[in-house]
Amino acid sequence: MAITLNTGFKMPIVGLGVWRVEGKEIRDLIINSINIGYRHFDCAGATSLLLLLFLSFSYADYRNESEVGEALSEAFRTGLLWNSDHGHVIEACKDSLKKLQLDYLDLYLVHFPVATKHTGVGTTDSALDEDGVLDIDTTISLETTWHAMEDLVSLGLVRSIGISNCDIFLTRDCLAYSKVKPAVNQIETHPYFQRDSLVKFCQKHGICVTAHTPLGGAAANIEWFGSVSCLDDPVLKDLAKKYNRTVAQIVLRWGIQRNTFVIPKSSKVERLKENFEVFDFELTKEDMDLIKTVDKKHRTNQPAKLWGMDLYA
């Protein structure tokens, strides 16, 4: 099952996030996932690319691109823009292509809509100033970055480009100044953080939405940020019993029925299969409406705790 982007390319609606997967594990993980049927891979949160049969990969942030390239070359052929590379878009993209052993990317996303101090192409560091606060580069606007992203399309290095972690206002601005419209906005959204207004705004204007942390981050964000997981919600647990599914499958199916891409993370083969087995059932309208009632406006991914400042404030 796929959704067609505004560039005409089809993107599988269920993908795999490989955040926090070690380089030595990622090769087997991707090969296993390909065998299960996955054709959309997402590394983390720096950039996003989708290759060939929308075998997608992204995010230099986890420093495993070389291993990914080796694994994907065995299957099809198969890599990004980190905050510190906003002023070095073409160089960063070429660096990812080289590591991933590719000639072009199908989709490339700007990570956060903010430029930070450059620390070297592909290093994906989040430089902090002397006060321990994210060192933002105020000389580079998102518009400047976006026009550099458009150059990637002109140069044939990428087919589609998009944004991440952009609210309605930033998305609206990007639509206003763009020559090449963003194909995707990748945001955190799950039953505890539904963001209906943003999702509907993007979809109304032809921008597809990808849900990162579609299961609410679960153990990882609980560990890192003290978040609350929707997988423990009693309403969702009751629905899981009703449909004879896992809570994760209910949440992913909810995301699919909102016409959003979902990219859950797992390194366990049984979970990979479970997360992919969401196409043979459908939630009723009543149950979709019921899930609306559990929204807590709860963002689970809180980089402010790492960066010393709240970019969402």
CATH code of the domain covering residue 18: 3.20.20.100
pLDDT at 205 over 60: yes
* Averaged pLDDT score across all residues of the chain: 83
Distance CA 309, CA 293 (A): 31
Question: Would the pLDDT of 300 be above 80?
Answer: yes
Is the pLDDT higher at 154 or at 77?
154
Q: For residue range 35-73, list pLDDT tens digits in order.
A: 888 877 775 533 333 333 334 333 344 455 555 555 554
Q: What is the pLDDT of residue 76?
A: 36
Residue 155 confidence (pLDDT) above 90: yes
Burial of 16 (0-12, 13-18, 19+ CB in 10 A): buried
Higher pLDDT, 92 or 226: 92
Whole domain around residue 183: which residue ranges? 2-54+63-306
Residues with Cβ < 8 Å from 226, sequence gap 6 or more?
none
C-beta separation of 40 from 53 below 8 A:
no
Asked, for residue 311, whether it belongs to a domain, the answer is no
Q: Which pLDDT band holds residue 218 (cuts at 50, 70, 90)?
A: low
Q: Residue 276 falls within a domain, yes or no?
A: yes
In a domain, 312, yes or no: no
Is residue 231 included in any domain, yes or no? yes
The 3 state secondary structure assigned to the chain is CEEECCCCCEEECECEECCCCCHHHHHHHHHHHHHHCCCCEECCCCCEEEECCCEEEECHHHCCHHHHHHHHHHHCCCCCCCHHHHHHHHHHHHHHHHHHCCCCEEEEECCCCCCECCCCCCCCCCCECCCCCECECCCCCHHHHHHHHHHHHHCCCEEEEEEECCCHHHHHHHHHHCCCCCCEEEEECECCECCHHHHHHHHHCCCEEEEECCCCCHHHHHHHHCCCCHHHCHHHHHHHHHHCCCHHHHHHHHHHHCCCEECCECCCHHHHHHHHCCCCCCCCHHHHHHHHCCCCCCCCCCCHHHHCCCCCC
Higher model confidence: residue 83 or residue 214? 214
Please identify every residue annotated as catalytic.
62
pLDDT bracket for residue 240 (50, 70, 90)? very high
* Cα–Cα nearest to 107, from 170, 44, 183: 183
Q: Is 313 inside any structural domain?
A: no
d(CA 54, CA 294): 33
Task: Report yes or no on 177 lying in a domain.
Answer: yes
40 has binding-site annotation: no
- How many separate domains does the chain show? 1
Whether 112 is covered by a domain: the verdict is yes
